[in-house]
């Protein structure tokens, strides 16, 4: 049974406590417009997910699932979707399928120590309880690792997200996917892993044949923790392009304090480029953020309820007039891709 997202009721075009109304429009784009237009005739349904296995340089076999768009759909973007600590591709699959239906090709790996991506050295110690609880900061860093050498395809270190990126690059070379429309969406720990990898990806220098990194167009962080077992999101957010230019959306739950803390770090580096759905002046009946939602480079949308991590990422609003995370993310991707 799918967990519902509890949101406060609409009032005067805005959600209670000043949350921006995105029932009929979010980020300046109608949510319905995030659904790609069908060609003449019946719209073909998207295919079932395809399972692949990828090998990291430190010996972990990463299982990943590819949700391709329907044959009659013009791709909107390529999305790497990263689950929370203790989750898997299955816990974010409702979000993956919504993005897929909205025109995004989604690649959702099981991060090491989760699902179909066990760490060999932890197999005996984990037992029936699973490996996620045994993971430490170094394991999280290995999920995002990339580096070593000048040529990326021959690099000495390729972690979980990096081997997914390299697979996408191979598909792009065959014109099957578009690496230049790459978005990273992470939930909980996956948000920190995604931010860390995005920063490392941007650090790869160009070579004679073209860029080796920096193709990430936008980052979505759902319920991001500030620190997980010593693994902090502060460091990647302090370097370019995450610090001041990369479009970043943060989605937090009603009781989420870390998401606010993460957004505060972004605001300091973007004094005129941020939008916070809660910055609402009741008397003026308008949002007082310095940037418009459709133009901001950093956005914070805080939703009601008590859901966190993958449950928040996969949630659906019970009222079709209210937003759910998937619609917000689709609108963000469409807005950024169209800039």
Domain boundaries, the chain: 10-35+45-318+326-337
Q: Which CATH architecture has domain 10-35+45-318+326-337?
A: 3-Layer(aba) Sandwich (3.40)
Residue carrying the six token digits 């923790």: 225
CA–CA separation, 44 and 84 (whole Å): 32
Please give the pLDDT value at position 321.
66
- DSSP secondary structure code for residue 69 in this structure: P
Please give the pLDDT value at position 24.
35
Sign of CA dihedral 91, 92, 96, 102: positive
Please give the pLDDT value at position 318.
67
Please give the pLDDT value at position 128.
67
**284 — pLDDT class (breaks 50, 70, 90):** confident
Instruction: Summarize pLDDT for 265-278 with one digit per residue, the tens.
Output: 999 999 999 999 98
pLDDT mean across residues, the chain: 87
CA–CA separation, 335 and 320 (whole Å): 21
CA–CA separation, 73 and 96 (whole Å): 16
Q: Which of 50-54, 71-75, 171-175 is least confident?
A: 71-75
Mean pLDDT calculated for residue range 286-307: 92
Mean pLDDT calculated for residue range 120-142: 90
Instruction: Summarize pLDDT for 25-71 with one digit per residue, the tens.
Output: 444 443 444 444 444 457 788 999 999 999 999 999 999 999 999 98
Residue 61 in tokens: 């076999």
Q: Of how many residues is the chain composed? A: 339
What backbone phi and psi angles, to 5 degrees, belong to 29?
A: -125, 135
Please give the pLDDT value at position 319.
66
């Amino acid at each position: 049974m799918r967990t519902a997202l509890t949101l406060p009721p609409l009032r005067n075009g805005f959600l209670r406590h000043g949350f921006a109304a995105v029932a009929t429009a979010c980020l300046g784009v109608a949510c319905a417009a995030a659904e790609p237009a069908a060609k003449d005739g019946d719209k073909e349904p998207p295919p079932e997910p395809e399972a692949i296995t990828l090998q990291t340089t430190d010996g972990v076999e990463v299982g990943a699932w590819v949700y391709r768009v329907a044959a009659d759909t013009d791709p909107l973007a390529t999305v790497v979707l990263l689950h929370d600590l203790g989750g898997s591709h299955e816990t974010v699959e409702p979000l993956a399928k919504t993005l897929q239906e909205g025109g995004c090709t989604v690649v959702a790996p099981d991060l090491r120590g989760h699902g179909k991506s066990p760490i060999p050295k932890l197999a005996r110690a984990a037992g029936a309880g699973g490996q996620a609880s045994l993971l430490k900061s170094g394991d999280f860093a290995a999920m995002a690792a990339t580096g070593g050498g000048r040529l990326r395809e021959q690099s000495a270190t390729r972690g979980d997200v990096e081997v997914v990126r390299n697979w996408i690059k191979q598909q792009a070379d065959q014109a099957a996917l578009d690496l230049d429309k790459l978005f990273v969406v992470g939930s909980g720990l996956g948000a920190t892993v995604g931010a860390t990898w995005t920063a490392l990806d941007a650090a790869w220098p160009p070579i004679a044949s073209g860029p080796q990194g920096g193709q990430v167009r936008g980052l979505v962080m759902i319920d991001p923790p500030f620190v997980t077992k010593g693994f902090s999101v502060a460091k990647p957010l302090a370097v370019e392009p995450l610090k001041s230019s990369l479009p970043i959306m943060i989605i937090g739950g009603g009781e989420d304090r870390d998401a606010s803390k993460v957004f505060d770090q972004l605001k300091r580096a973007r004094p005129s480029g941020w939008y916070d759905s809660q910055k609402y002046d009741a008397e003026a009946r308008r949002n007082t953020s310095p940037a418009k939602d459709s133009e901001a480079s950093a956005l914070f949308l805080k939703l009601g309820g008590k859901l966190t991590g993958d449950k928040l990422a996969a949630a659906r609003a019970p009222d079709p007039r209210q937003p759910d995370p998937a619609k917000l993310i689709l609108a963000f991707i469409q807005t950024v891709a169209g800039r």
